[in-house]
Amino acid sequence: MGGFLGKRLFVIAALLWPLGTMAQSVPVYGNWCGLNHPSNPALAGPPVNALGAACMRHDICTANRVALIAAVIWRL
């Protein structure tokens, strides 16, 4: 497997590799904190406190970053 597809798969694997161990140690808290929580941000309730507000801002920023990274990867 080489060329463009190999490069894309390598980048995707490098970005996702740490998620396996993190999923076992990140608790869910409130409406926004936790790995893949909320599953649907459009239906999530408001943050319950300052920590929840920070998680919400992080989730929104991360979603934007992931979309940007995906766009760059598929242009390789």
Q: What residues does each domain of the chain span?
A: 3-73
Both tokens assigned to 39 = 């599953």
Distance between CA atoms of residues 57 and 59, nearest Å: 6
Q: How many CA atoms lie within 13 A of 4 on its CB side?
A: 5
pLDDT at 53: 93
pLDDT at 47: 93
Model pLDDT, residue 4: 57
pLDDT score for 54: 92
User: Are 30 and 49 contacting, i.e. CB atoms less than 8 angstroms apart?
Assistant: yes
pLDDT means per 10 residues, the chain with 76 residues, are: 60 60 68 84 90 89 80 74
CA atoms within 13 A on the CB side of 30: 15
The pTM of this model reads 0.56
